[in-house]
Amino acid sequence: MDIRLTEAEAIALHYYQAAQRDGWTALVQAVADALADLDAAERRAAEQGRLVSHGYARARLNG
């Protein structure tokens, strides 16, 4: 029988195995990684917003 895991299940299994089958440690690490990724994405979005605003203002001054 071929068992296919969803992406979420595969990620959870990886964390569980990496934590030596300690469910709490796996959960805490997964949440910490997700929060770090979210923070990085928010910083990138804010930086892109500043670049767009700066470019818009520059184009308006030159246009």
**pLDDT tens digit string along 20-54?**
999 999 999 999 999 999 999 999 999 888 777 66
Can you count the helices (H) and strands (E) in the chain? 2, 0
State yes or no: pLDDT of 63 exceeds 60.
no
What is the torsional sign of CA 43, 48, 49, 55? Answer: positive
DSSP annotation of 60 reads: H
pTM for this prediction: 0.71
State yes or no: pLDDT of 58 exceeds 70.
no
